[in-house]
Structure 1
Amino acid sequence: MTKQVHFRVDDDVYEKLVDKAVASGQTLQQSMTMALCKYVGKVDTMKQNKSGYTFIDLFAGIGGLRLAFENNGSQSVYSNEWNKYSQQTYLANFGVQPDDDITKVDEKSIPDHDILVAGFPCQPFSIAGVSKKNSMGRATGFQDKTQGTLFFDVCRVIKAKRPKAIFLENVKNLKSHDKGRTFKIIMESLNELDYDVHYAILDAQDFVPQHRERIVIVGFDRRRYGYVDFEFNLKKPVHKPVLREILEPKVDDKYTLSDKLWNYLQAYAEKHRKAGNGFGYGMADLDSHTRTLSARYYKDGSEILIPQPGKNPRRLTPRECARLQGFPDSFKIPVSNTQAYKQFGNSVAVPIMTEAARLVQSKLIELDMGKQQDVELLMKEA
């Protein structure tokens, strides 16, 4: 059920509203609805009891990392995501409309926060200008090395807001991307911003029935805490989940592969088997874990196929993909199946990120308590 709300605005305000709607490819009604949701979301955030740490959610996707930090009691005060379909899912689940282009956001306008959280895209850096400066014996900073990439926007927010901690997530291949140059520049840039940085490649298969390796980079403000002793000592769940536990009992026949597609995948796999390659479809073991769910899963589902006695195998449903990534069944999927497959394939495995977030917050609590004790000791001695 929808309600009608009528506004009276001056002509100049109306013209700006129309211009904004046209620029974003929306109707005036859609643009106004999103603006109101964004406003209400900010008001709700301001009203929340600030019992935990605050964080911002950059390159937010559908909110997997937001869930991880909220599961530990932290509160989001700002989110940013450019993809309109991901925005739609984010809005449906969190009641907040993310900002849509981080490159156009004034970093000073972003609310103060304790933890900066970002699943930023992996891009190669241009090192020509940096190499020239090095040859001339001139120092280079993060601005020289990262300008033109989205990681630059992460750096400028860090510099402006100086959060207590940063939590960055990316694909495992970030370490080897562009022959290791990308990772080297990222680590150098965070070090130049005075953050004590730690990283690890984490595999989610103990937390969800999926082999999914991701790199997590954690940093603590060195100006505030000095050098920090931090380790990724994840507490694994007592029960290791298996695939059959997340499958739906009844699935529509539309998820079963057609004879044409199934024959093609078998022929493709056989061709590469004869050539000595390992390419091909992945028939899942229901009592184990799957391959990594990717954003291309919507194309044919070949990396994770579910066997069906007496018929062709099927692909996972969007809800099963959500479960494979550890999203709760209460998580809403308001988009098409194609977009849902892309979104969950691009997202994080929520349970392992929840555990990683817990470690970061526990370390912050320890550090902040230590600083408080130091202050009390100095006051006693004064």
Structure 2
Amino acid sequence: MNIAAGQAGAVAHDFREVGGARSAKPVFLDFFAGSGLVSHALSRWFDLAWANDVCGKKAAVFRANHPGKPFILGSVSEVRGGDVPSATLSWASFPCQDLSLAGAAKGIRASRSGLVWEWLRVMDAMDERPPVVVAENVVGLLSAHDGRHYKELHEALIGRGYRVGAIVLDAVHFVPQSRPRVFVVGVSQNVSIPPGLVGDGPNWLHPAAIARVAETTEAFIWWKLPKPHLRRHSLSDIVDRSRPCHDEATSQKNLALIPPAHRRRLEESGLDVVPGYRRIRDGRQVLELRFDDVAGCLRTPAGGSSRQLLVMRDGGRYKTRLLTAVEAARLMGAPRQFKLPGSDTDAYRAMGDAVAVPVAAFLARHLLSKLIPVHDEST
């Protein structure tokens, strides 16, 4: 189906058969669904009509926590538009590897991050595109190559009949993990945007990288959401003190990697738990710590990335251990009953390559759910 024939629809509520029963909520599609944290986060406002991911281990986590929900295991490049049910919202947390500033930054046309175009291809082939879309990724989408990759995605959505804007939400507002992410939100030209959801310029959701790219981007929408309440918990609150640390030799080997300036801050901080990542600086490995009682951004333990270490005070001494998968799940805002099948590494990967639950829920509550019910009958 070509672009003109597949314009984004103006559906107010798309009530569908979901899991054998008629849904009382608008339904959504979860592309690149991973372990299902977005599906969980949106469940208060939307019903899941369809989900897809290529990773079998993440699929196991998804299915364990969303029994009976439709999940297609396989590459999005193999999905046909006619096989996807109509919906009011399409969410795509597309791969970030080619946009991450920590990687090669090959761009939005590279093999992995370029799968976002397969998402658009599928929607082009649907009987009617969902009236609301969200594309989520790392902040490199905005900053790499002077914002060229964001502009290309923005223009592609504009060409498909959406009004589009981007925001940055950091999980640190909700959980003790530094995890800024870009959310590109598009709404059909046929849908009336309720008052109060759009501003006339940058606000707390728009850091300098967005302001710069918006200056040269067509018809940028300045989405406006309330500021979240102050976060209640710190990293120290969620760490399981009963978990064993490394043996003495391994702990000392890790502690020896701490740069002198960080070692002094560690001694002066008074903190019992300090997180850190092993990094290469000036050709040698170091363990860089942070001292704000917040974890660094979780990563997947693949492609050379390391798992996050904890430096823990034990009496007058320090020991180290890895952040556990359960602690990672709590840093992602997953509920305590969230199941993590497979190995510890599998579970850690499932959490490190996901969207924090309270971030997606905040977006759904304050923006996405408010866009869905309102449409312009005159168009």
Post-superposition offset of 1:179: 4.7
1:193-232 residue pairs with structure 2 within 5 A? Answer: 193-225=160-192, 230=198, 231-232=223-224
Query: Aligned to 1:68, which of 16, 41, 45?
Result: 41
Q: Deviations 1:307-331 (Å, cap 9, x if unpaired)?
A: 1313412222110110011001100
Distance 1:150 1:190 in 2: 15
User: 3-state DSSP class of the match of 1:80?
Assistant: strand
**What one-letter code is carried by the residue in structure 1 that aligns with 2:337?**
S
The answer to whether the Cα contact below 8 Å between 1:282 and 1:305 also exists between their aligned partners in 2 is no
1:345/1:113 CA distance change after superposition, 3 Å: same
Q: Deviations 1:10-62 (Å, cap 9, x if unpaired)?
A: xxxxxxxxxxxxxxxxxxxxxxxxxxxxxxxxx98343442221001000110
Query: Aligned to 1:292, which of 279, 294, 297?
Result: 297
Query: Which has the higher relative contact order, 1 or 2, with Cα contacts under 8 A spaced 6 or more apart?
Result: 2
1:168/1:300 CA distance change after superposition, 3 Å: closer
Query: Aligned to 1:93, which of 61, 65, 81?
Result: 65
2:353 match: 346
Q: Deviations 1:281-305 (Å, cap 9, x if unpaired)?
A: 24465x7312111113898966441
Of Structure 1 and Structure 2, which has the larger fraction of its residues in helix?
1
What is the aligned-residue RMSD (CA, Å)?
A: 3.5
TM-score by length of 2: 0.71
Determine what percentage of the aligned residue pairs are the same residue: 26
TM-score by length of 1: 0.70
Q: Which moved more, 1:300-309 or 1:234-243?
A: 300-309
User: 3-state DSSP class of the match of 1:189?
Assistant: helix
**What one-letter code is carried by the residue in structure 2 that aligns with 1:192?**
G
Query: Aligned to 1:256, which of 246, 264, 267?
Result: 246
Asked whether 1:281 is paired with 2:287, we answer: yes
1:182/1:65 CA distance change after superposition, 3 Å: same
Asked whether 1:54 is paired with 2:44, we answer: no
2:122 match: 157
Asked whether 1:323 is paired with 2:330, we answer: yes
Distance 1:288 1:48 in 2: 45
State the structure with more CA Rg: 1
How many residues align? The count is 307
The answer to whether the Cα contact below 8 Å between 1:61 and 1:343 also exists between their aligned partners in 2 is yes
Distance 1:200 1:167 in 2: 11
Asked whether 1:176 is paired with 2:143, we answer: yes
The answer to whether the Cα contact below 8 Å between 2:27 and 2:49 also exists between their aligned partners in 1 is yes
The answer to whether the Cα contact below 8 Å between 1:203 and 1:212 also exists between their aligned partners in 2 is yes
1:105 match: 79
The answer to whether the Cα contact below 8 Å between 2:262 and 2:289 also exists between their aligned partners in 1 is no
User: 3-state DSSP class of the match of 1:281?
Assistant: strand
Which runs of no fewer than 5 residues in structure 1 stay unpaired?
Answer: 1-42, 126-144, 376-382
Distance 1:291 1:197 in 2: 30
2:233 match: 241
Post-superposition offset of 1:68: 1.7
Of Structure 1 and Structure 2, which has the larger fraction of its residues in strand?
2
